[in-house]
Amino acid sequence: MSPVRTCIVCGKKAEQKSLKRYIWDGNGPVSDDEKKHHGRGAYCCNTEKCIGVFFKAGKKLERAFRLKIHGVFRHNREKENGSEE
């Protein structure tokens, strides 16, 4: 059995391998699909609903990454959804 992690959006607990992991790259959260990057990660259910809310979850992201962050997510969110302008 793999480790259990918690989705920072909905609070659902699930096996680590079934959740999407994000790391902080200095400009915002970036998907770590292979789970190979070092450092603090934040986990999110792999559903459109949770992923859509993830980038707007300001205080939850600050807590998960232990950072004070400001509105830097629009660009990364568009990249994640494949709709970069």
**CATH code for position 77:** 3.30.1230.10
Domains in the chain, number: 1
Q: Does the structure show a pLDDT above 90 at 6?
A: yes
**Residues 65 and 19 sit within 8 Å (Cβ to Cβ):** no
Mean pLDDT score of the chain, rounded to an integer?
A: 79
State which residues form the domain around 55.
4-81
Which pLDDT does position 69 carry in this prediction?
Answer: 63
- Token output for 78: 């568009």
Question: pLDDT tens, 9-20?
Answer: 999 999 999 999
